[in-house]
Amino acid sequence: MDKEPFLARVRAQLARAGRWHEGAHPDRPPPLPDVRQIPEGELVEFFCRELGAAGGQLHRVTRAEAPAKIAELGRARAARTFAAWDSPLVASLSLETALPGLTRIAVGDRLTLRERLEALDLGITEADHAIAETGSILLLPGPGRSRLVTALARYHVLVLPVERIGPSLTAVADVVRGCRDEDGRLRSNVAVVTGPSRTADIELQLVTGVHGPLELHVLMLVS
Amino acid sequence: MSGPEGQKAAGDIRDRARLAVANERLRLALATATGRLLERSARAFDTLPDQRRAKGQARAARQHGLANLDVHLERFVANCVKNGMHVHFAADAGEAARIVCELAKDQGSVIKSKSMATEEIHLNDALLSRGIDVIETDLGEWVLQLAKEKPAHIVAPALHKTTAEFAGIIGEKIGKTLPEDPAALVTAARARLREEFIRGGVGVSGANFGVAETGTLVLITNEGNGRLVTSGPRTHIALMGIEKVVPTLDGVVALLRVLARSGSGQKLTSYTSFISGPRRADEPDGPDEIHVVLLDNGRSRTLGTDQWESLLCIRCGACLNACPVYQRIGGHAYGSTYPGPIGLIATAMVRPDEESQAVMPHASSLCGACHEICPVQIDLPRMILSLRAQSVAEGRPPALERMLFWMAAFVFRRPWLYRAALGLGAFFARLVGRSHLRSFGPKAWTRSRDLPMVAKTPFRTWWAERKRRP
């Protein structure tokens, strides 16, 4: 069906329903005051608790300690490969030096990326925002920020400077609205990640690590 | 429609329900699963300071979109196009399936993330009949696809299957004997489906919401398959019912707060993706093309009718869990993509036929549990009643039933006749005696219930005497 007749059916039906349509102006959305208030002082503790409840693992480290922590996580899981975002914060961790013996999979060619990342052990990224209310982290797209690195890795390790934690889920709306490229165009994909992948499809028993990462490690950078 | 325990051969919902109720293993599985889901959901809602307010906001966000759907749908389409997505328009299920098949052909296999809309249009059958391979990637959906069954629940599609059945089905697929251990089964499924994620040529998903203000698709999954399906393949096709349009991102946040709590007892699902277009030139991955297929299939003609509230539904499945009928007969007995209380309304909308309009509306006790639990407060009992009324107005009930109700109405309108009938009834009841009374009553009713003795003194007489006393 063409666009116009398709939309016309909706328009005609709403016009027929006349009275029902009144009282709700399209550009006057209902007010949605935030129902979740978390006091400023409890923000970090709240985030840590919710991240844990969602099955994520938290590590409090300084920026200087972060590379060694990642190396330790990799060793404990017998990791052989890693891939990382090419973002300023992740780059500053000098991962090649920190992870000797691990092969870095360069993101590079897009068409073969899936095949090359199939054996990815550590996917190392950063979170631009985190939400205390739900223990979620936000993964933003952009140059050097591969989505598949976060989705195909067996273990997703990310760094989160503590000051990036905000209280409420309502922040997601602003982040999505504001996530644009240099031409002002919306970027392709914002992911709100809450714990590792999971399923309860087998007799409602919770199992973590389905198609996405088996584990989610958040390195919270404190001073 | 195929289902377990020979449900395939059965006639309509009444026959299938009878078979399901006779299956003790199924009833036990249903009771356990729905009970657990309800308990988890209640606990998750307890973490909200004001859950009534949260539900009110979620409803307001949906209602605002529906009341102005013409404006917001047009805005959504315009913004999707601005974001570089292609938008297609499907008036009914057949057209939607044709569009998706046309888009998906010659690109290798289709990998799918769980979507009720694709079930509604029977997309898998359509793809396979055109020689396009399609693989469900949600664990429960995948196992059902292998077992050639349909989902039995909106959120937990394979809740009627035991761990042993999972082990048997997955084991047969990969040619190994697997232990009856959920974690081991998930590991095996992960390894097998990983191959599909790597080679899949087209990703097909539904959409939980479409945001008009930005032209954004919102997709939630727990297993991470949604993110893989929409990030790996060159082409992403999203099928979305037109009622899923939400005017603003703030409205979506209000909905997310209640959706996972209601559906799976989580505060938020593991992955919530906001998809606002294909890969941008400077981004390392993501699909080159995104096609949004908008599905009407009975939705537009439901707007503004007394069934409009069903369009508010966010497919959380809570009304299934709370429904005493669903708890006993399960999803397959409904014989429809959408089971449970919301299924009664949704089936009449997307598949208007004799069964959905005249028979299915009676698969409810009108107890109101669905209305109470619904995160967007849909008054399902009212709509179920209205479907029944509609079916009566169209003269669908059998002649005998119509005559009985006509007689009852005739008597109820005439107080003198009503009083006389009461006296006559009491007289005959005493004459026959309690033990024989049952054999006169309707058999279907008295098989599991007692027909009580008519009181010696009618209530009206008793009440009048009582009032006369000082």
Percentage of residues in chain A having pLDDT higher than 90: 85
Run of H or E including A30: none
Nearest-by-Cβ selection for A29 from B247, B273, B277: B247
Contact A32 B280 (CB under 8 A): no
Nearest-by-Cβ selection for B277 from A146, A188, A200: A188
Per-residue pLDDT averaged across A10-27, rounded?
77
Phi-psi region of A78 (alpha: psi -120 to 50; beta: other; left: phi over 0): left
Residues of B in contact with A150 (CB under 8 A): 227
Helix (H, G, I), strand (E, B) or coil at A32: coil
Question: Does residue A22 surpass a pLDDT of 60?
Answer: no
CA distances for B445 relative to A175, B440, B448, B450, angstroms? 59, 11, 7, 8
Nearest CA in chain B to A213: B224
Residues of B in contact with A17 (CB under 8 A): 303-305, 308
Answer for the pair B139, A202: CB distance below 8 angstroms, yes or no. yes
Residues of A in contact with B215 (CB under 8 A): 186
Helix (H, G, I), strand (E, B) or coil at A195: coil
Q: At residue B352, what are phi and psi to the nearest 5 degrees?
A: -70, 110
Nearest CA in chain B to A107: B284
Q: How far from the centroid of its chain's Cα atoms is residue A69's Cα?
A: 21
Nearest CA in chain A to B157: A201
Contact A177/B at CB under 8 A: yes
Torsion of CA B49, A137, B250, B303, to 10 degrees: -100
Query: What parts of chain B have a pLDDT lower than 50?
Result: 1-9
Kindly report, residue by residue over A56-66, the tens digit of the pLDDT.
999 999 999 99
Whether the predicted model's global pTM rises above the 0.95 cut: no
pLDDT at A23: 57
CA distances for B172 relative to B128, B141, B151, B158, B427, angstroms? 21, 16, 20, 17, 68
Contact B285 A190 (CB under 8 A): no
Nearest CA in chain B to A106: B284
Question: Does residue A106 surpass a pLDDT of 60?
Answer: yes
Per-residue pLDDT averaged across A176-189, rounded?
96
Q: At residue B240, what are phi and psi to the nearest 5 degrees?
A: -140, 130
Which strands, in side-by-side order, build the sheet including A155-161? A57-61, A215-221, A155-161, A122-126, A81-84, A103-104
pLDDT at B3: 40
If you search the block for the tokens 């099928």, which residue do you land on?
B239
* Neighbouring C-beta atoms of residue A88, cutoff 10 Å: 9
Contact A133/B at CB under 8 A: yes
Answer for the pair B37, B321: CB distance below 8 angstroms, yes or no. yes
If you search the block for the tokens 């009771």, which residue do you land on?
B31
For residues B163 and B184, give the distance between their C-alpha atoms in angstroms, rounded to a whole number.
11
Run of H or E including A164: none
What tokens does A70 get? 């990642």
For residues B425 and B408, give the distance between their C-alpha atoms in angstroms, rounded to a whole number.
14
CA distance A76 to chain B (A): 20
A106-112 contact pairs (CB < 8 A, 24+): A107/A83, A107/A144, A107/A146, A107/A149, A107/B284, A107/B285, A110/B284, A110/B285
DSSP string, A45-97: HHHHHHHHHTT-EEEEE-TTTHHHHHHHHHHHTT--EEEE--SHHHHTT-HHH
Cβ-Cβ pairs closer than 8 A, A with B, add up to 299
Contact A36/B at CB under 8 A: yes
To 10 degrees, what angle do helices B182-199 and B139-146 make? Answer: 90
* Residue A41 DSSP code: G
Question: How would residue A21 be classed by pLDDT, with cut points 50, 70 and 90?
Answer: low
